[in-house]
A and B are shown apart, each in its own frame.
Chain A
Amino acid sequence: MALSAKQLSVGDTHSEVIVEDLKRTQLVQYAGVSGDYNPLHSDEVFATQVAGYPTVFAHGMLTMGMKGKMLTNYVGDGRLTNFGVRFSKQVWPGDDLTSTATVTALREEAGQHFVDLTVSTKNQKGEEVVSGSASARIDG
Chain B
Amino acid sequence: MAADKFPVEAGHIMLFAHAIGDANPIYHDDEAAKKTEPGGVIAPPTFVQASAQFNSENTMRPKIGQPWFGSGKEATGIKKKEGEDTGSGRGLHAEQHYEYHRNLGPGDVLTATTKEGKTWEKEGRRSGKLKFRESITEYRDQKGELVVTARSVGVQTERAVEQ
- A residues sitting closer than 8 Å to B (CB atoms) are 2, 18-19, 26, 29-30, 32-40, 43, 45-47, 49-54, 59-62, 64-66, 68-69, 71-73, 76-87, 90
Contacts and interface: CB of A to CB of B under 8 A. Distances in A.
A69 B55 contact: no
A101 to B, nearest CB: 13
B38 interface: yes
Contacts of B93: 59-61, 87
Contacts of A78: 26, 36-38, 42, 103
Contacts of A33: 12, 15-16, 18-19, 50
Interface of B: 12, 15-16, 18-22, 24, 26, 36-38, 42, 44-46, 49-55, 58, 60-62, 69-71, 75-76, 88-100, 103, 151, 159-161, 163
A15 to B, nearest CB: 16
A77 B24 contact: yes
A39 B45 contact: no
Contacts of B88: 50-51
Contacts of A39: 69-71, 89
A26 B37 CA distance: 30
A46 B20 contact: no
A64 B96 contact: yes
B97 A85 contact: yes
A69 B96 contact: no
Given A34-B16, A36-B52, A26 B21 contact: yes
Interface centre among B12, B61, B98 (most CB of A within 10 A): B98
B89 A50 contact: yes
Nearest to A45: B71
B16 to A, nearest CB: 5
Nearest to A19: B21
A2 B36 CA distance: 11
A38 B58 CA distance: 10
Contacts of B91: 38
A76 B45 CA distance: 12
Among all A-B residue pairs, the 5 with the closest Cβ atoms? A51-B89, A84-B97, A35-B52, A39-B70, A65-B20
